[in-house]
């Protein structure tokens, strides 16, 4: 069946289940797999689907496609009295239909506010209603046209929602003008095919320029902000089905300023602008030199090492600096002292980290307010966070900070602001595109102090030695695990297909509440792939026997991880907890989960933010520490030196690696993923006179700051 349906009620927040009435007045329940956006009562939607009988709900339509259309005929009355036009109501909508009939949509489109107000009685309220109707109608009508256009173009509801959100009622005109605007939402092959059907010629300038942009933005999806000339031309030739149009495409793209040439390669305008701005701000701050007139108080009361004292002095003296160091070397202790000294000197501190969990740890360790980068940027934009004298921005876990985030931080901070980036370039690179800390470390002109004394693990455990070897790419010999060792680093070699079973057996023997399994990939949940989903599934099966299933499908006692930042609950992405049980409350059963000693009750959509945590990814573990860590070692594209280093250094007393010795050796011996990213921040810094160090070792580890 395919028919127009007037929406009578929406039964779920995502709008995929609703009640509607067709042209014959028959009411049905509709269930959609996907939908353009949640429908609104009174709207008309064109729906295609199959009528089936549900055992509970009776006859319902299983919808294969649904898109918004302009309400026609008397259906417009229901639309105008619905929530899209607040303050109008049934009486006014009916009165307008009686006055104008089928001409009503035309009057609304033409903005005939006076005629509409007069038909409603000419009162002040009538004029307010007329203003609402004529002001809102273009958007409502335009949205329907967009939905119809995209549906006829074969563009699914998920993409259509994004397009409509971005371009609004102008989407149809903009896409007809240049269909390649869809590249922001769809792959090149799909957009190029649509453009061809619309009559765009192979050598059309729109197509040539779009192909250049597509190549560079596909590189961004791989975290690269720059492509070498040969690689760029090769990829461009594949897009254009031959090399004949490559030179013309490049000429058009350069002429229209959508690509830039730098250091023998090419960048899209967006990442080039960001890298140039960051490089310029860093160069300016470094050239201004150290602050004069500061009399720094002694730091002995903080119990700092000489390295940590040097780091504190550097951070408050220089306007831009790097505080570097491997895991467990006391960066947090130095940060606490830095905050005390800087505050005493009148600095306006702004503490932040990319993840909510890292920001929470900064706040707890310093006793000062800290936030995620995203929340801080929102607060600055809203004017709820201001800047005093000597603003000093301190970013922890800076190895994870992507180019876009650092760019936005620097754009938001006044010109007289200073920066301290704290992190470990040996750990995981940003999830998003570009490199910041990793790209700044080789620049010898940038002041930095690197801490080297490990405090987290005792040297006797062997973990610091193992971590140090992994960090520099030396493949260490790791003794086999006999099963009785309480400390140290050990390896259990087994085939990939045996990893999950071996881990499950070990957890049965070792699990005392201080053991955490860390992996590189989530996997498919197949016990043969060595991923964390499989470990979680096997452990659930082993530990849930005889227990009643609770709300959300969880069992009492299961370890869980929260997966988003939730300011209202005070929970951050990566917070670990345990299921404590459930209780009956208003609206049904609620799951009781304890995070950091605080119990939370969860139900409904909030349960989507909860995942099992017998095993977690290395990204989720960053910034945490556990007594014993079990590391899953299976060959995959994410397993590299930085990931293994991050996982191993989460352990305080004992680390056990399980899986392929060959995969471990290959990952450690190969360059880390950060070094495989193609970025141009270093080239932009060099263009401003900030050269890389001649000493490769110093470049890699970040030795004593220049000029300090």
Q: What is the mean pLDDT of residues 367-378?
A: 90
Are 212 and 294 in a shared domain? Answer: no
Parallel, antiparallel or unpaired: strands 615-617 and 610-612:
unpaired
Q: What is the mean pLDDT of residues 226-235?
A: 96
Q: Which range scores top for mean pLDDT: 16-20, 121-125, 209-213?
A: 209-213
Report the chain's C-alpha Rg in angstroms: 30
310 falls within a domain = yes
**321-335 residue pLDDT tens:** 999 988 778 888 999
Q: Helix, strand, coil proportions of the chain in percent (round to 5)?
A: 45, 20, 35
pLDDT above 70: percentage of residues in the chain: 94
706 falls within a domain = no
pLDDT above 90: percentage of residues in the chain: 47
Q: For residue 572, what is the domain's CATH number? A: 3.40.50.300
How far apart are alpha carbons 231 and 216 in whole angstroms? 11
| Number of domain units in the chain | 4
Are 426 and 570 in a shared domain? Answer: no
575 falls within a domain = yes
Q: Which of 502, 506, 482, 461 is nearest to 648 (CA)?
A: 461
Q: What is the mean pLDDT of residues 145-159?
A: 74
- The lowest-confidence range among 260-264, 487-491, 593-597 is 593-597
Domain housing 304: 272-451
What stretches of 199-268 show up as alpha helix (H) in DSSP?
A: 205-221, 229-239, 246-255
**29-60 residue pLDDT tens:** 999 877 777 888 888 888 888 988 888 778 88
pLDDT range class, residue 493, cuts 50, 70, 90: very high
How far apart are alpha carbons 400 and 421 in whole angstroms? 11
> Does residue 289 or residue 512 have the better pLDDT?
289
191 falls within a domain = yes
User: Which own/partner pairs from 24-32 qualify as long-range (CB within 8 Å, at least 24 positions apart)?
Assistant: 28/59, 28/60, 28/61, 29/54, 29/57, 29/58, 29/59, 29/60, 29/61, 30/5, 30/60, 30/61, 30/63, 30/66, 31/60, 31/61, 31/62, 31/63, 32/63, 32/66
Q: Residue 457 above 80 pLDDT?
A: no
708 falls within a domain = no
pLDDT range class, residue 236, cuts 50, 70, 90: very high
Are 205 and 82 in a shared domain? Answer: no
How far apart are alpha carbons 362 and 357 in whole angstroms? 9
Q: What is the mean pLDDT of residues 409-432?
A: 92
Identify the DSSP state of 317. H
| Angstrom distances, CA of residue 645 to CA of 492, 639, 666 | 18, 10, 14
Are 487 and 631 in a shared domain? Answer: yes
Q: What is the mean pLDDT of residues 154-177?
A: 78
Are 356 and 420 in a shared domain? Answer: yes
pLDDT range class, residue 109, cuts 50, 70, 90: confident
Are 606 and 505 in a shared domain? Answer: yes
Are 235 and 302 in a shared domain? Answer: no
Look at residues 416, 451, 486 and tell me which one is the last residue of a structural domain. 451
Are 334 and 467 in a shared domain? Answer: no
695 falls within a domain = no
Identify the DSSP state of 15. S
Look at residues 419, 451, 483 and tell me which one is the last residue of a structural domain. 451
Are 499 and 545 in a shared domain? Answer: yes
Identify the DSSP state of 400. G
630 falls within a domain = yes
Q: Residue 262 above 50 pLDDT?
A: yes
Q: What is the mean pLDDT of residues 649-653?
A: 90
The pLDDT value recorded for residue 456 is 61
> Residue for token digits 């197949």?
526
**184-196 residue pLDDT tens:** 888 999 999 999 9
340 falls within a domain = yes
Are 644 and 596 in a shared domain? Answer: yes
Are 231 and 326 in a shared domain? Answer: no
Q: Residue 700 above 70 pLDDT?
A: no
Identify the DSSP state of 694. S
Are 254 and 400 in a shared domain? Answer: no
Average pLDDT, the chain: 87
Q: What is the mean pLDDT of residues 476-496?
A: 91
Q: What is the mean pLDDT of residues 676-686?
A: 93
């Amino acid at each position: 069946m395919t028919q127009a349906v007037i929406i009578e009620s929406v039964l779920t927040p995502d709008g995929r289940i609703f009640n509607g009435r067709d042209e014959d007045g028959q009411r049905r329940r509709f269930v959609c797999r996907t939908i353009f956006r949640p429908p609104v009562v009174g709207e008309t939607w064109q729906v295609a689907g199959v009528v089936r009988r549900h055992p509970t709900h009776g006859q319902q339509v299983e919808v294969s496609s649904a898109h918004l259309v302009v309400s026609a005929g008397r259906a417009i009355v229901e639309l105008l009295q619905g929530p899209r036009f607040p303050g109008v109501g049934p009486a006014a909508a009916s009165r307008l239909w009686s006055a104008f009939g089928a001409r009503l949509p035309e009057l609304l489109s033409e903005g005939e506010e006076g005629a509409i107000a007069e038909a409603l009685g000419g009162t002040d309220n009538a004029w307010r209603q007329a203003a609402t109707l004529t002001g809102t109608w273009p958007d409502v009508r335009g949205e329907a046209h967009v939905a119809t256009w995209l549906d006829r173009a074969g563009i699914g509801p998920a993409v259509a929602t994004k397009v409509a959100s971005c371009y609004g009622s102008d989407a149809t005109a903009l896409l007809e003008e240049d269909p390649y605007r869809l590249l922001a939402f769809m792959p090149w092959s799909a957009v190029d095919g649509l453009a061809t059907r619309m009559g765009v010629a192979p050598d059309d300038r729109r197509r040539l320029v779009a192909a250049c942009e597509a190549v560079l933005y596909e590189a961004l999806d791989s975290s690269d902000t720059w492509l070498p000339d040969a690689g760029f031309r090769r990829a461009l030739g594949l897009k254009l089905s031959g090399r004949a149009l490559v030179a013309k495409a490049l000429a058009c793209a350069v002429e229209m300023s959508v690509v830039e040439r730098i250091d023998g390669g090419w960048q899209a305008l967006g990442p080039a602008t960001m890298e140039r701005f960051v490089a310029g701000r860093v160069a300016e701050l470094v050239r201004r030199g150290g602050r004069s007139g500061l009399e720094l108080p002694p730091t002995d009361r903080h119990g700092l090492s000489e390295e940590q004292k040097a780091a504190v002095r550097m951070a408050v003296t220089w306007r831009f600096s790097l505080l570097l160091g491997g895991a467990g070397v006391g960066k947090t202790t130095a940060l606490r002292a830095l905050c005390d000294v800087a505050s005493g000197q009148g600095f306006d501190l702004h503490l932040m980290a990319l993840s909510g969990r890292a920001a929470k740890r900064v706040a707890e360790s310093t006793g000062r307010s800290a936030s995620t980068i995203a929340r801080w940027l929102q607060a600055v934009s809203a004017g709820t966070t201001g800047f005093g004298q000597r603003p000093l921005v301190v970013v922890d876990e800076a190895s994870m900070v992507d180019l876009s985030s650092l760019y936005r931080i620097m754009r938001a901070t006044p010109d007289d602001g200073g920066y301290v980036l704290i992190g470990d370039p040996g750990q995981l690179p940003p999830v998003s595109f570009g490199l910041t800390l990793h790209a700044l470390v080789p620049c010898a002109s940038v002041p930095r102090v690197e801490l080297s004394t490990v405090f987290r693990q005792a040297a006797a455990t062997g973990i610091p030695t193992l971590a140090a070897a992994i960090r520099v790419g030396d493949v260490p010999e790791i003794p086999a695990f006999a099963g009785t060792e309480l400390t140290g680093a050990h390896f259990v070699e087994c085939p990939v297909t045996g990893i999950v079973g071996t881990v499950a057996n070990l957890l049965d023997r070792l699990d005392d509440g201080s053991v955490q399994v860390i992996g590189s990939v989530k996997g498919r949940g197949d016990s043969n792939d060595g991923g964390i989903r499989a470990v979680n599934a096997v452990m659930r099966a082993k530990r849930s026997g005889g227990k009643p299933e609770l709300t959300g499908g969880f069992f009492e006692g299961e370890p869980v991880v929260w997966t988003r930042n939730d300011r209202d609950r005070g929970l951050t992405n990566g917070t670990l907890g345990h299921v404590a049980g459930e209780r009956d409350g208003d609206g049904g059963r609620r799951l009781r989960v304890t995070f950091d000693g605080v119990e939370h009750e969860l139900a409904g959509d909030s349960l989507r933010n909860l995942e099992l945590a017998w095993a977690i990814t290395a990204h989720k573990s960053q910034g945490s520490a556990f007594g014993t860590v079990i590391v899953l070692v299976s060959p995959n594209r994410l397993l590299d030196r930085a990931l293994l280093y991050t996982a191993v250094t989460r352990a305080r007393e004992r680390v056990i690696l399980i899986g392929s010795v060959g995969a471990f050796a290959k990952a450690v011996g190969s360059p880390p993923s950060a070094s495989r990213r193609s970025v141009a921040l270093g080239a932009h810094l060099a263009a401003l006179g900030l050269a890389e160090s001649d000493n490769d070792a110093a470049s890699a580890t970040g030795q004593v700051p220049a000029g300090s």
